[in-house]
Amino acid sequence: MNFSLTSKAIETTKADCLVIGVPEKGKWADSATAVDAALGGLVKRLQGAGDITGKLASTGVFPLQDAPWARLLVVGTGKDAERTPAAFRKLVTAALATLKDGPSKSALLALADTPVSAADDLGSEPALLQVTGRLLEEQFYTFTDFKSDKPDARKLTKVAVACGDAGKASKAAFQLGLATGQGMNYARDLGNTPPNVCNPVWLAHQAERMAKDYDCIKTDVIDEKQMAKLGMNTILAVGKGSTEPPRLIVMEYRGGKAKDKPYVLVGKGITFDTGGISLKPGEAMDEMKYDMGGSASVFGTMKVLAETRPAINVVAVVAAAENMPDGGAARPGDIVTTLSGMTVEILNTDAEGRLVLCDALTYVKQFDPAAVVDMATLTGACIIALGHHASGLLSNNDELANELLAAGERTGDRAWRLPLWDDYQSQLDSNFADMANIGGRPAGTITAACFLSRFAKDYRWAHLDIAGTAWVSGKAKGATGRPVPLLVDYLMSHVRK
Ligand code: BES
Ligand code: MN
Ligand code: ZN
């Protein structure tokens, strides 16, 4: 697919399909008015006849004759007062979904001058171009690596995005949007790859390939022997039940000054979670291949950084293991000494995410982080609490938490905060070790974060539980690429100006 930005006059720019927005009520975008005039008032006539309602995200396709375009796709932009950035994302998504499997080979998208009401600059043309870039990549994603009959290649190969001013700000915004979408799609590829391929060593190879592809990325892989030497016994305990050895993968992107403290991203990378000896029930167990979604979002975010080269230092750590129940597996009742020196009684081998993450959280102290954010498909309880719309956010620092919440709001990749009060900590008491790895049924997402918080005392830390947001189930089963947009937005707000 070829995506480009153009500031040429829309009325004379050829394409198989022209896409414009028409409101239900309120002021027309300049581009729509100009196109209507160029088509001799056709759009207004279609509106008058009821063929175009303007209702938010409704679409209609109209064949044209003697025009620079073979057809016109009109997407409803709704009412002026309700046209928020979220509404804009919705209408662009609807337009692209209609375009996707249609007959056009090329399209010209004239939506970036849609009037959007937003508190900050989210309604500006660069902001709308940025989100359009992201949605283009997101919408046209496919994953057919493992199909023998590739579905017919899509007809559409080129989308030009019209803008009033293709200056530096617009170009950079559009590029960042495309890069964010590509980062999401990379995360989706990793997630969708079957677990007999995507194992910890394969994930480490991905990181090594990133280092090969981009000079700005440095990769270091810690194998099981080095882990044993260092004392990473909890990640080892999780990996023990599998013939696939665990890996701790470290990627560094240093685009800032040497003295700038790095932002550290940590990802849960369980490439398959059977539950271990505390075996999961069989239903939908295939979806536990997505239990490396946290690490996929770390990979995706690093790719965005490598592509856009912002002035910031970021260290990424992926704790990769496969949770299997063979003869070597950890048992409920086992006590292990973590890298931090604290001991953990493993009461349930299915609470393995926190076990791989705790050693990673101890390991990252050496980077003297500005902040640490971990992403993990950590608890089923998070889906019960928040469903599939928001990621769970827990943090030991209000400022960091608020910044991440704001990044989620701005991108539509939202998170919602849950408390991390001391009151919950005692649920992790163990009779035999410093702590247990489970805290009972009540507040499962919070007690999981409480466990992690004990290893994150020395820095500003936040945890995103993405169990409900990293993938979708059902007919459209697939990884979502979340929370790459949130992470990219957060990191970009800390780029050295
Ligand atoms: N990876 C799962 C959490 C999960 C389950 C995410 C379903 C998405 C969908 C995690 O390792 C897990 O098994 N958590 C347990 C924790 C429990 C044993 C305390 C859970 O949520 O049941
Ligand atoms: Mn589990
Ligand atoms: Zn898991």
- Render pLDDT for 259-278 as a digit per residue (tens, 0 to 9): 999 999 999 999 999 999 99
Q: Are residues 148 and 211 in the same domain?
A: no
Which tokens sit at 147? Answer: 């199909």
In this predicted structure, what is the pLDDT of residue 25?
Answer: 86
Query: Does the predicted model carry a pTM greater than 0.95?
Result: yes
Q: How many domains does the chain have?
A: 2
**For ligand 1, is residue 308 a contact (CB within 6 Å)?**
no
Which whole number is the average pLDDT over 447-466? Answer: 99
pLDDT of residue 375: 99
Q: Which atom of ligand 1 is nearest to the CA of 437?
A: 19
pLDDT of residue 420: 98
> What is the pLDDT averaged over residues 108-134?
95
Last residue of a domain, one of 161, 193, 221: 161
The rounded percent of the chain whose pLDDT value lies above 90 is 97
**Within a domain: 166:** no
Active-site annotation holder among 354, 410, 414, 454: 354
Residue whose CA lies nearest to ligand 1 atom number 6 = 467
Nearest C-alpha neighbor of 374 from the set 415, 343, 422: 415
pLDDT at 70 over 80: yes
Q: Is 438 in the pocket of ligand 1 (CB under 6 A)?
A: yes
pLDDT of residue 154: 87
Range of the domain at 40: 2-161
What value does the mean pLDDT take over residues 280-295? 98
More confident of the two residues 251 and 101: 251
Q: What tens digit of pLDDT does each residue of 467-492 get? A: 999 999 999 999 999 999 999 999 99
| Same domain as 401, residue 320 | yes
Burial of 318 (0-12, 13-18, 19+ CB in 10 A): buried
For residue 152, pLDDT beyond 80 = no
One domain for residues 200 and 319:
yes
- Same structural domain for residues 154 and 204? no
Picking from 161, 177, 196, the residue at the C-terminal end of a domain is: 161
| Nearest Cα to Cα of residue 74 among 32, 132, 14 | 32
Q: What residues are neighbours of ligand 2 (ion), with CB under 5 Å? A: 273, 350, 352
Considering the domain architecture, whether residues 353 and 308 belong to the same structural domain is answered as yes
pLDDT higher than 90, residue 242:
yes
Q: Are residues 277 and 226 in the same domain?
A: yes
Per-residue pLDDT at 151 exceeds 80: no
What pLDDT does residue 60 have? 98
- Could you tell me if residue 311 is inside a domain? yes
In a shared domain, residues 211 and 350: yes
Q: How many CB atoms lie within 10 A of CB 357?
A: 30
**Is 356 in the same domain as 422?**
yes
> Is the pLDDT reported for residue 448 higher than 90?
yes
What is the per-residue pLDDT for 134? 98
How many Å apart are CA 3 and CA 306, to the nearest integer?
19
Q: What is the mean pLDDT of the chain?
A: 97
User: What's the pLDDT band for 422 if we cut at 50, 70, 90?
Assistant: very high
Tell me how far the alpha carbon of residue 273 lies from the centroid of ligand 2, in angstroms.
6
pLDDT at residue 497 is higher than 90 = no
Report the pLDDT value the prediction gives residue 119, as an integer from 0 to 100.
82
Mean pLDDT confidence for 325-346: 98
169 lies in some domain? no
Quick one: 317 and 425 in the same domain?
A: yes
Indicate whether 397 and 430 sit together in one domain.
Answer: yes
Query: How far, CA to CA in Å, does 473 sit from each of 29, 326, 330, 388?
Result: 38, 28, 30, 10
Residue nearest to atom 13 of ligand 1 (CA): 350
Q: Name the domain boundary from 127, 161, 195.
A: 161
